[in-house]
């Protein structure tokens, strides 16, 4: 794995659900905001279909608030919600359009998202549709945003400045961020999803989970803690 270049100013994180960024991505975000970089979060949904025992309206309210707290824990001020339907995201032009609109508005140097592939690292489990659909649409929307002849009705200037996209938790990582010193902030952001974890129906230890990932990747690249990403160059 190669180090992720850090000579940039603005990042836009786009994910499907509250908590998607916090399984590792936000630990790198904590480092970048501490360097003075600007990071904005865009959530496609409010995660309203994520808790079996609670009504979606209530879950949307709780999980939106938890996401804002998680963002604050890693130095992110701005969190936007696109209010698309949790659990039933569809790949297609409407999704690419709304993501291209966000990219043209925020004009990021770097886009951060979550694994769009069918499996997780180690071939574990089958990645859910929302993650596959959203991640793929993010990669495509970066090109859409750059093309002045695509989505002309948005009335926004094209944005051709996105250098690369980073996908956390990919089974095919190509790059890493040295996050040594930022694990605590990452853990705090993950722990912000308290109501969600309390209703998972199984024990989950944010510290052990995140600590294990960054320690293992750190061993591979020769630093204390590292977060792996799959990079797609713009
Ligand atoms: Zn998710």
CA of 90 to the centre of ligand 1 (A): 14
**Domain that includes residue 32, residue range:** 2-233
Whole-number Å distance, alpha carbon 28 to ligand 1 midpoint, is: 18
Going from the Cα of 41 to the center of ligand 1, the distance in angstroms, rounded, reads 14
Indicate if the pLDDT at residue 210 is higher than 80.
yes
- pLDDT of 124: 84
Ligand 1 mean position to 152 CA, how many Å? Answer: 31
Looking up tokens 């949307």, which residue turns up? 60
Distance 44 CA to ligand 1 centre (A): 10
Number of domains composing the chain: 1
Q: Please report, in angstroms and rounded to a whole number, the separation of the first and last CA atoms in the chain.
A: 19
Q: How far is the CA of 157 from the centre of ligand 1 (A)?
A: 31
The per-residue pLDDT for 123 is 85
Q: What is the pLDDT of residues 7-48, one digit of tens each?
A: 999 999 999 999 999 999 999 999 999 999 999 999 999 999
Residue 35 C-alpha to ligand 1 middle, in angstroms? 27
Residue 111 CB coordination number (10 Å) = 27
Residue 234 in this model has a pLDDT that exceeds 80: no
Residue 229 phi, psi (nearest 5) = -140, 150
CA of 216 to the centre of ligand 1 (A): 23
Q: What is the CATH classification number for the domain harbouring 32? A: 3.40.50.10320
For the CA atoms of the chain, what is the radius of gyration?
17
| Environment of ion ligand 1 (residues, CB < 5 A) | 17, 20
| 173 Cα: distance to centroid of ligand 1 (angstroms) | 19
> How many CB atoms are located within 10 Å of the residue 120 CB?
16
């Amino acid at each position: 794995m190669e180090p992720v270049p850090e000579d940039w100013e603005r990042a836009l994180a786009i994910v499907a659900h509250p908590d998607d960024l916090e399984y590792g991505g936000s630990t790198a975000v904590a480092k970048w905001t501490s360097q003075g970089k600007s990071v904005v979060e865009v959530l496609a949904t409010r995660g309203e279909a994520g808790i079996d025992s609670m009504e979606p309206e209530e879950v949307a309210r709780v999980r939106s608030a938890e996401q804002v707290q998680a963002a604050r824990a890693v130095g992110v001020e701005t969190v936007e919600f696109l209010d698309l339907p949790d659990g039933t995201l569809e790949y297609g032009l409407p999704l690419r359009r709304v993501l291209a609109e966000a990219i043209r508005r925020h004009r990021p140097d770097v886009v951060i998202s979550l694994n769009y592939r069918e499996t997780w690292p180690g071939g574990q489990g089958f990645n859910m549709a929302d993650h596959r659909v959203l991640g793929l649409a993010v990669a495509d929307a970066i090109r859409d945003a750059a093309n002045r002849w695509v989505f002309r009705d948005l009335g926004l200037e094209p944005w051709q400045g996105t250098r690369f996209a980073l996908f956390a938790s990919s089974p095919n990582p190509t790059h890493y961020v040295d996050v040594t010193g930022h694990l605590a902030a990452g853990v705090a952001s993950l722990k912000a999803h308290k109501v969600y974890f309390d209703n998972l129906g199984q024990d989950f230890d944010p510290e052990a989970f995140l600590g294990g990932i960054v320690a293992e990747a750190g061993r591979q690249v020769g630093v204390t803690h590292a977060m792996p990403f799959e990079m797609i160059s713009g």
